[in-house]
Structures are given as structure tokens and as C-alpha cells.
């Protein structure tokens, strides 16, 4: 039977002082109302924070209070991470839990409840390195959807910006540099847009309704008013968003969603091509959409899994139907 969550109304196995219970309740209310966290997100946060507080109950030998959290050192946090590693949890699960706990401490700091710099001195566990590969369709959709969900990684307009950016990359197959190089006048007002690609080559790509909606929602909430020649995607200072910032945002989301290290922004473009090909898209048409000068580049890029290819063969080859 699963332990009750410290984030719910149930009493956890490890005692939590009333002041900390109040802070956790306030955090949950903030996630639900301000950040509009989905039930799935709240459940994931609950499991990770409950595990952390449960560990502290045994580690500190008593009720866990706000004062106890304030007095934690880097060694205490490392002991918690080590315990999770010894339990056989994957690096991605450990990294996700650390992201959740960091977010809780940020919430407490922003409200002047407590401040503990030790939590920010920890490095996120290094995840195994693999060559970039396409996400599964459901992973790509989950990533795009969760970008706009409440993960407490920035102001609401920033989350809408990230949702618009990643939806655009996945929905239109853009390079990260192409997306960030767009200006306000590039905002699509029809079902297509013109992209300036590598080598000064232009191409026209179709724009799905969900992409336009994400872009419109972002622009409505963006606090910076700019002219048609100003950047479409901006950072918190109103300047053009840098690729490094977008990549960092995706790194922060990856562990929360349990996605592999092989999910940089470029993987969304890769997924765009792979999913089109897997759905029966014409390779030449995909080449045009991606802006590849050579068809051989597209063939390497669209790495359809062998099982899908075998399925296509069995379904279409005359000799396979006997």
C-alpha cells in the first residue's frame, strides 16, 4: 500500500510540523490556482516532495519543520540523492525529484518564508549521453503540452512563450535558430509562413491551427510591446531570446516529464520529420518542409524504426501478402 502523500490531507508516515504542512498546502494552492497545474502534475509533485520529506524524517530523527528545512546543508541534500540512487532509481527520476524540491524551496524563498542557498548548490545528476533521436509521438505531444503546464519555471507569459516556441518547432519542423530568428512581422496570419533557412534559402511551411493559437496566446500575454521588425520570441529583458536559454528551458522540463537526455529542441524537428514519414509522408515533400538541400540529408534525418518499416513491408509488398 502506498504511503500517504505529505501534499494531501492524509497524515504522512514521517511527522511533518504544522508550519511546514501549512507551507505545503499554500504551495499546492499556488500550483493549482496560479500555475494551473494539472492533476497529473500535482500527483507527480506530491510523490517527489513526499519522498524528500519522508527521507528527512528519518535522516533528522524527528518532525520536519520549516526551521529544519532552513538548516539543511548540502551534505543533507546529497544524502537524500544518494539514498535514491542506492534504491536503484534512474538518473532521470532523481533529476526530476531534485527539480521539484528546488521549485518548492524557490516558492518558500519568494514568499520570504525561508532561504536555504544549499539547495541551489547541487548539480543535477548527469544523465546518460545518447545520440539525438526522435521522440515518440506521445512524448513529443506531452512535451509540447507540458511546456504550457504549471511547472513553476517562470512567469505565465514565459511558459506561454516556451509553449509557442516548442509547438512551432514541432509543428513546422523549424530549426531552433530559424524559430528564434523570426520577427513580429513573420507572425502567420494564414495557414502558411515563409522561413529564411540556411544559405539564405526561403521556404514556405504550412502552419497548423494549434501553432497559430499558441503564438497568439503568447503575444497577448507578452509584456513587451514591439514593432513589426522586433523579435518574435523575447527573453525576460525584452531582447531576442537566445538559443541557450531555450535549450535550458527544455533541460528543466525533461526530468519532470521523464524524457531522455536525447531530447534537445532539435529533437522536436527530428520528430516532425520522422512522424511525417511514419505517417506515409512523401520523402521529397518532407525534404522541402525541412529546407534540406540534399535528399540524402533527409534520409539520414528521418530515422523510422525498423518495426514500422517491417509493418509497412508486410502491409504493402505483394509477396508479403501470400
- Catalytic site residue 28? no
Residue 76 counted as domain residue: yes
Residue 256 counted as domain residue: yes
**Is the domain of 141 the same as that of 117?**
no
Residue 284 counted as domain residue: yes
Residue 268 counted as domain residue: yes
**Is the domain of 116 the same as that of 151?**
no
Whether 306 shows a pLDDT value over 50: the answer reads: no
Q: How far is CA 78 from CA 65, 94, 97, 107, in A?
A: 19, 11, 13, 21
- Catalytic site residue 198? yes
**Is the domain of 228 the same as that of 90?**
no
- Catalytic site residue 59? no
Residue 130 counted as domain residue: no
The enclosing domain of 173 has a CATH number of: 1.10.443.10
Model pLDDT for residues 151-189, shown as the tens digit of each residue = 555 688 888 888 788 778 777 777 778 888 889 988 887
* Catalytic annotation, pick one of 35, 161, 175, 270: 175
**Is the domain of 179 the same as that of 50?**
no
User: Is there a contact between 222 and 161 (Cβ–Cβ < 8 Å)?
Assistant: yes
Q: Where are the beta strands (DSSP E) in 170-251?
A: 192-196, 202-206
Distance, in Å, from the CA atom of 251 to the CA atom of 96, rounded to the nearest integer, reads 11
- pTM to 2 decimal places: 0.44
**Is the domain of 67 the same as that of 196?**
no
* Catalytic annotation, pick one of 198, 239, 310, 317: 198
**Is the domain of 87 the same as that of 217?**
no
Whether 43 shows a pLDDT value over 60: the answer reads: yes
- Catalytic site residue 301? yes
Q: Where are the beta strands (DSSP E) in the chain?
A: 192-196, 202-206
* Catalytic annotation, pick one of 84, 254, 275, 292: 292
Domains identified in the chain, total number:
2
Q: How far apart are the first and last CA of the chain?
A: 52
Distance, in Å, from the CA atom of 133 to the CA atom of 142, rounded to the nearest integer, reads 16
Residue 321 counted as domain residue: no
**Is the domain of 250 the same as that of 296?**
yes
Domain encompassing residue 116:
18-121
Distance, in Å, from the CA atom of 25 to the CA atom of 113, rounded to the nearest integer, reads 14
Residue 8 counted as domain residue: no
* Catalytic annotation, pick one of 47, 212, 249, 269: 269
- Averaged pLDDT, 262-290: 47
Amino acid at each position: 500500500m502506498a504511503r500517504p502523500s505529505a501534499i494531501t490531507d492524509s497524515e504522512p508516515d514521517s511527522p511533518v510540523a504544522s508550519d511546514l504542512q501549512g507551507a505545503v498546502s499554500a504551495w499546492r494552492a499556488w500550483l493549482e490556482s496560479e500555475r494551473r497545474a494539472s492533476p497529473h502534475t500535482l500527483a507527480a509533485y506530491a510523490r517527489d516532495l513526499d519522498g524528500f520529506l519522508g527521507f528527512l524524517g528519518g535522516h533528522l530523527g524527528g518532525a520536519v519543520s520549516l526551521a529544519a528545512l532552513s538548516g539543511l546543508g548540502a551534505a543533507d541534500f546529497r544524502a537524500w540523492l544518494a539514498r535514491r540512487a542506492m534504491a536503484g532509481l534512474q538518473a532521470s527520476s532523481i533529476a526530476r525529484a531534485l527539480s521539484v524540491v528546488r521549485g518548492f524551496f524557490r516558492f518558500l524563498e519568494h514568499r520570504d518564508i525561508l532561504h536555504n542557498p544549499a539547495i541551489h548548490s547541487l548539480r543535477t545528476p548527469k544523465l546518460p549521453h545518447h545520440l539525438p533521436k526522435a521522440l515518440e509521438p506521445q512524448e513529443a505531444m506531452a512535451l509540447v503540452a507540458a511546456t504550457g503546464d504549471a511547472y513553476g519555471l517562470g512567469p505565465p507569459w514565459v511558459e506561454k512563450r516556451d509553449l509557442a516556441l516548442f509547438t512551432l518547432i514541432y509543428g513546422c519542423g523549424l530549426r531552433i535558430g530559424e524559430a528564434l530568428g523570426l520577427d513580429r512581422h513573420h507572425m502567420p496570419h494564414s495557414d502558411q509562413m515563409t522561413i529564411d533557412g540556411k544559405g539564405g534559402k526561403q521556404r514556405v511551411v504550412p502552419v497548423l491551427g494549434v501553432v497559430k493559437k499558441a503564438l497568439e496566446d503568447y503575444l497577448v500575454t507578452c509584456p513587451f510591446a514591439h514593432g513589426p521588425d522586433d523579435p518574435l520570441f523575447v527573453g525576460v529583458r525584452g531582447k531576442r531570446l537566445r538559443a541557450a536559454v531555450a535549450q535550458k528551458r527544455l533541460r528543466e522540463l525533461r526530468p519532470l516529464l521523464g524524457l531522455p537526455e536525447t531530447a534537445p529542441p532539435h529533437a522536436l524537428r527530428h520528430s516532425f520529420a520522422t512522424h511525417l514519414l511514419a505517417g506515409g509522408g512523401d520523402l521529397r515533400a518532407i525534404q522541402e518542409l525541412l529546407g534540406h538541400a540534399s535528399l540524402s540529408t533527409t534520409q539520414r534525418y528521418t530515422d523510422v524504426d525498423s518495426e514500422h518499416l517491417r509493418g509497412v513491408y508486410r502491409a504493402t509488398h505483394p509477396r508479403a501478402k501470400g
